[in-house]
Amino acid sequence: MADRDIDDLVAEWVREEIQALSAYHVPEAEGVIKLDAMENPYTWPPEMRQAWLERLRQVDVNRYPHPQAPALKEALHRSMAIPDGMGLVLGNGSDELIQMLAMTVGGPGRTILSPEPGFVMYRMIAVFLGMEYVGVPLRADDFSLDTDALLAAIDRERPALLFLAYPNNPTGNLFDAGALERVLDAAPGLVVIDEAYAPFTDASFLPRLGEWPNLVVMRTVSKLGLAGLRLGLLAGPAAWLDQVEKTRLPYNINVLTQVSATFALEHGGLFRRQTAAIRSERQRLFEALSRLPGLRAWPSEANFILVRVTAGDASELHRRLRERGVLVKNLHGSHPLLEQCLRLTVGTPEENDTLLTALAGSLGEASG
């Protein structure tokens, strides 16, 4: 037994679709300006940090966390204005909620459907669970929904689960609300509106929970400024959420996250100021990007801006920016509609200035 080859064993037993995957890659970002992952660039004032540490001092890490996290749920209900009568399921990031949703309604022979380009985890989790994944291309010019194609795909595939990121990642736009209404009317299965970028837009389907029997809304505190805590939430009617809750691992929201997120949500004013600053920087950055020759920028309702390199090579530009100390996301090669595209997270005014200077210098070099 001991002389069997480990690689042969792995090849024999690991599911083929898992062997074919590459692990989610996170680049080294030591000492660079990090504009690749939609993080809030602002930290907390020293007094608030001190008060938070005082709160953490009272935590007993020898005990399991509260399995239902009632204090945190109460804080989320209040701060996100979850409609009365709607329940919440918490996830270790909304990534985990996507997995729980897929485990609840998915499985072999069932389909996850989503517009593309979109959030990569929808497809990944479909693969993990042996489900079919169908991506329906957005329109090439402005990344709006191709409603007819989407409705035809819904009719053909009858997806168990349909994900709509609102605003969409990595394109930054909001889909037309009327089109989403038609999709909700037509979809036979569960429709998840993923509002990860809610802090950066005024549009939301959260107040409309209950209007459709198949609508749930997913949010996260990651893009708000708490990416390190790993906390996502699913809001919707109890009939759905009671079932999803059964797939939740008992203590998925750890004590440090429960206490820290509850504390943070008591300081809503700070996050409103930070996200307002990011929104106004988004506008300034968009205007400056639009003036750069060799680049096309798309308007965004999120905390990032999608750009296409129209004169030169996106991978080369990505490398040059990295050399100048700025890390952005290279999307070239990830989807046919994202050819020569980069995604730029909106940073502080200083970080955005550094990005703009680095872009101007690198684009100049690339075309000269």
Please state, as a whole number, how many other Cβ atoms lie within 10 Å of the Cβ of residue 68.
12
Q: Choose among 204, 201, 224, 341: nearest CA to 283.
A: 201
Contact residue for ligand PLP among 41, 65, 87, 93 (CB under 6 A): 93
146's CB contacts (< 8 A; 6+ apart) are 115, 136, 137, 138, 139
Contact residue for ligand PLP among 147, 222, 258, 345 (CB under 6 A): 222
Q: Choose among 18, 22, 27: nearest CA to 129.
A: 18
Radius of gyration for the alpha carbons in the chain, expressed in angstroms and rounded: 21
Least separation in angstroms between CB 257 and ligand PLP? 11
Q: Which of residues 194 and 281 has its CB atom nearest to ligand PLP in the complex?
A: 194
Cβ–Cβ < 8 Å for 250, 92: no
Binding-site size for ligand PLP (CB under 6 A) equals 13
Give the C-alpha distances (Å, rounded to integers) separating 288 from 96, 281, 283, 292.
Answer: 37, 10, 9, 7
Least separation in angstroms between CB 223 and ligand PLP? 6
Q: Is residue 331 a contact point for ligand PLP (CB under 6 A)?
A: no
Choices 11-19, 90-98, 182-190, 280-288; region in contact with ligand PLP by CB under 6 A: 90-98
Cβ–Cβ < 8 Å for 195, 163: no
Q: Is residue 224 a contact point for ligand PLP (CB under 6 A)?
A: no
Cβ–Cβ < 8 Å for 289, 298: no
Backbone angles phi, psi at 162, to 5 degrees: -125, 120
Q: Which tokens hold the place of 282? A: 């988004």
Q: Is residue 166 a contact point for ligand PLP (CB under 6 A)?
A: no
Q: Which of residues 118 and 312 has its CB atom nearest to ligand PLP in the complex?
A: 118
Q: Is residue 194 a contact point for ligand PLP (CB under 6 A)?
A: yes
Name residues contacting ligand PLP, limited to 8-47 (CB under 6 A): 38
Q: Is residue 351 a contact point for ligand PLP (CB under 6 A)?
A: no
Sign of the torsion formed by the C-alpha atoms of 136, 139, 143 and 149: negative
Shortest Cβ contact with ligand PLP: which residue? 93
Q: Which of residues 119 and 240 has its CB atom nearest to ligand PLP in the complex?
A: 119
Least separation in angstroms between CB 228 and ligand PLP? 10
Give me the numbers of helices (H) and strands (E) for the chain, helices first please.
Answer: 13, 13
Q: Is residue 281 a contact point for ligand PLP (CB under 6 A)?
A: no
Sequence letter at residue 312: G
Q: Which three-class secondary structure state does DSSP give residue 294? A: coil
Contact residue for ligand PLP among 94, 114, 262, 345 (CB under 6 A): 94
Contact residue for ligand PLP among 169, 173, 204, 254 (CB under 6 A): 169
Q: How far apart are CA 186 and CA 167, in angstroms?
A: 21
Choices 15-23, 66-74, 87-95, 140-148; region in contact with ligand PLP by CB under 6 A: 87-95
Please state, as a whole number, how many other Cβ atoms lie within 10 Å of the Cβ of residue 201.
17
Contact residue for ligand PLP among 79, 90, 95, 240 (CB under 6 A): 95
Q: Which of residues 93 and 199 has its CB atom nearest to ligand PLP in the complex?
A: 93
Q: Which of residues 223 and 322 has its CB atom nearest to ligand PLP in the complex?
A: 223
Q: How far apart are CA 197 and CA 245, in angstroms?
A: 24
Backbone angles phi, psi at 363, to 5 degrees: -65, -40
Name residues contacting ligand PLP, limited to 105-134 (CB under 6 A): 119
Least separation in angstroms between CB 163 and ligand PLP? 8
Name residues contacting ligand PLP, limited to 230-259 (CB under 6 A): 232
Q: Which of residues 231 and 307 has its CB atom nearest to ligand PLP in the complex?
A: 231
Cβ–Cβ < 8 Å for 53, 363: no
List contacts with ligand PLP (CB under 6 A): 38, 93-95, 119, 165, 169, 194, 196, 220, 222, 227, 232
